[in-house]
Amino acid sequence: MRINHSAARNLPALPAPESLPIQPDERVLFLADLSMYGDEQDKFLGSSAQGRLVCALTTESLFIRTPYAIWSFDLAGDVASITCQRGGLFSKGWVDVELVRTETFPFDNGETGQLSGLHLYFKKKRDLALLGDLLAQIVQ
Protein backbone atom coordinates (compact mmCIF):
# COMPACT_ATOMS: atom_id res chain seq x y z
CA MET A 1 0.00 0.00 0.00
CA ARG A 2 1.39 3.39 -0.93
CA ILE A 3 1.23 6.15 1.66
CA ASN A 4 1.57 9.85 0.94
CA HIS A 5 4.11 10.56 3.67
CA SER A 6 4.00 14.34 3.30
CA ALA A 7 0.22 14.27 3.90
CA ALA A 8 0.66 11.88 6.82
CA ARG A 9 3.31 14.11 8.42
CA ASN A 10 0.94 17.07 8.28
CA LEU A 11 -1.77 15.29 10.29
CA PRO A 12 -1.92 15.65 14.07
CA ALA A 13 -0.15 12.88 15.95
CA LEU A 14 -1.59 11.01 18.92
CA PRO A 15 0.42 10.02 22.00
CA ALA A 16 2.07 6.66 21.34
CA PRO A 17 1.18 3.89 23.79
CA GLU A 18 4.31 2.51 25.45
CA SER A 19 3.38 -1.01 24.38
CA LEU A 20 3.68 -0.23 20.65
CA PRO A 21 7.14 -0.86 19.19
CA ILE A 22 7.27 2.21 16.97
CA GLN A 23 10.38 3.82 15.54
CA PRO A 24 11.48 7.28 16.77
CA ASP A 25 10.41 8.99 13.53
CA GLU A 26 7.08 7.12 13.35
CA ARG A 27 3.89 8.95 14.40
CA VAL A 28 0.61 7.48 15.63
CA LEU A 29 -2.25 8.76 13.45
CA PHE A 30 -5.12 6.57 14.65
CA LEU A 31 -5.82 4.57 17.81
CA ALA A 32 -9.06 2.76 18.66
CA ASP A 33 -10.43 -0.18 20.63
CA LEU A 34 -11.67 -3.22 18.75
CA SER A 35 -14.60 -5.36 19.82
CA MET A 36 -13.31 -8.38 17.87
CA TYR A 37 -11.32 -9.47 14.86
CA GLY A 38 -11.22 -12.34 12.42
CA ASP A 39 -9.30 -13.64 9.45
CA GLU A 40 -9.95 -12.70 5.82
CA GLN A 41 -12.86 -15.17 5.68
CA ASP A 42 -14.24 -13.82 8.96
CA LYS A 43 -13.20 -16.81 11.06
CA PHE A 44 -13.30 -15.53 14.64
CA LEU A 45 -9.81 -14.96 16.10
CA GLY A 46 -10.42 -12.93 19.26
CA SER A 47 -12.65 -10.50 21.12
CA SER A 48 -12.44 -7.82 23.77
CA ALA A 49 -14.00 -10.30 26.22
CA GLN A 50 -10.50 -11.86 26.39
CA GLY A 51 -8.82 -8.51 27.12
CA ARG A 52 -8.29 -5.15 25.48
CA LEU A 53 -7.85 -5.15 21.70
CA VAL A 54 -6.32 -2.06 20.09
CA CYS A 55 -5.82 -1.02 16.49
CA ALA A 56 -3.18 1.62 15.76
CA LEU A 57 -2.22 3.17 12.45
CA THR A 58 1.09 5.00 12.25
CA THR A 59 2.85 6.72 9.40
CA GLU A 60 4.61 3.40 8.67
CA SER A 61 2.65 0.51 10.19
CA LEU A 62 -0.64 -1.04 11.22
CA PHE A 63 -0.60 -2.57 14.70
CA ILE A 64 -3.12 -4.91 16.30
CA ARG A 65 -2.52 -5.38 20.01
CA THR A 66 -4.21 -8.38 21.59
CA PRO A 67 -3.85 -9.63 25.18
CA TYR A 68 -1.36 -12.20 23.86
CA ALA A 69 0.65 -10.50 21.13
CA ILE A 70 1.27 -7.37 19.11
CA TRP A 71 0.84 -7.88 15.40
CA SER A 72 2.74 -5.44 13.22
CA PHE A 73 2.20 -4.90 9.50
CA ASP A 74 4.46 -2.63 7.46
CA LEU A 75 2.16 -0.48 5.29
CA ALA A 76 4.57 -0.41 2.35
CA GLY A 77 5.65 -4.06 2.39
CA ASP A 78 2.96 -6.16 4.11
CA VAL A 79 -0.39 -4.45 3.44
CA ALA A 80 -1.99 -4.55 0.00
CA SER A 81 -5.07 -2.55 1.03
CA ILE A 82 -7.18 -1.35 3.94
CA THR A 83 -10.86 -0.81 3.18
CA CYS A 84 -13.63 0.38 5.50
CA GLN A 85 -16.87 -1.57 4.96
CA ARG A 86 -19.96 0.07 6.40
CA GLY A 87 -23.11 -1.72 7.51
CA GLY A 88 -23.79 -5.40 7.76
CA LEU A 89 -26.43 -7.57 9.33
CA PHE A 90 -24.87 -7.86 12.79
CA SER A 91 -22.26 -5.12 12.83
CA LYS A 92 -21.68 -1.40 12.48
CA GLY A 93 -19.14 -2.19 9.79
CA TRP A 94 -15.62 -3.50 9.66
CA VAL A 95 -12.18 -2.90 8.24
CA ASP A 96 -10.90 -5.31 5.61
CA VAL A 97 -7.09 -5.59 5.66
CA GLU A 98 -5.63 -7.44 2.70
CA LEU A 99 -2.02 -8.62 3.09
CA VAL A 100 0.50 -8.85 0.26
CA ARG A 101 1.44 -12.42 1.22
CA THR A 102 0.28 -15.05 3.68
CA GLU A 103 1.87 -14.60 7.11
CA THR A 104 2.05 -16.82 10.22
CA PHE A 105 0.73 -15.19 13.39
CA PRO A 106 -0.04 -16.25 16.97
CA PHE A 107 -3.77 -16.39 17.68
CA ASP A 108 -5.37 -15.61 21.04
CA ASN A 109 -6.12 -19.30 21.66
CA GLY A 110 -2.36 -20.02 21.78
CA GLU A 111 -2.19 -21.56 18.31
CA THR A 112 -0.54 -20.11 15.24
CA GLY A 113 -2.12 -19.81 11.84
CA GLN A 114 -1.77 -18.49 8.34
CA LEU A 115 -3.36 -15.15 7.47
CA SER A 116 -3.74 -13.41 4.14
CA GLY A 117 -6.01 -10.75 5.59
CA LEU A 118 -7.98 -9.55 8.60
CA HIS A 119 -11.41 -8.20 9.45
CA LEU A 120 -11.38 -5.67 12.29
CA TYR A 121 -14.55 -4.67 14.16
CA PHE A 122 -14.40 -1.45 16.17
CA LYS A 123 -16.29 -0.85 19.41
CA LYS A 124 -17.45 2.57 18.21
CA LYS A 125 -18.97 3.28 14.81
CA ARG A 126 -17.29 6.70 14.71
CA ASP A 127 -13.86 5.02 14.81
CA LEU A 128 -14.65 3.28 11.52
CA ALA A 129 -15.58 6.63 9.97
CA LEU A 130 -12.46 8.32 11.39
CA LEU A 131 -10.20 5.64 9.95
CA GLY A 132 -11.93 5.86 6.58
CA ASP A 133 -11.44 9.64 6.47
CA LEU A 134 -7.79 9.28 7.51
CA LEU A 135 -7.08 6.65 4.84
CA ALA A 136 -8.69 8.87 2.19
CA GLN A 137 -6.15 11.57 3.09
CA ILE A 138 -2.98 9.51 3.15
CA VAL A 139 -3.35 6.55 0.75
CA GLN A 140 -2.06 7.19 -2.77
- For residue 19, is it within any domain? no
Which neighbouring-strand residues pair with 65?
54, 70
Tell me the HSE value of 85 on the side-chain side, using a 13 A CA sphere: 16
Domain count, the chain: 1
Pairwise CA distance, residues 113 & 38, whole Å? 12
- The 3-class SS string of 49-88 reads HHCCEEEEEECCEEEEECCCCEEEEECCCCEEEEEEEECC
Please report, for the domain that includes residue 9, its CATH number: 2.30.29.30
In a domain, 128, yes or no: yes
The string of pLDDT tens digits covering residues 24-65 is 889 999 999 999 998 888 888 878 888 889 999 999 999 999
pTM of structure: 0.89
Does 60 map to a domain? yes
Tell me which residue range forms the domain holding 108. 5-14+25-138
Segment 92-133, tens digit of pLDDT: 789 999 999 988 877 666 777 888 999 999 988 899 999 999
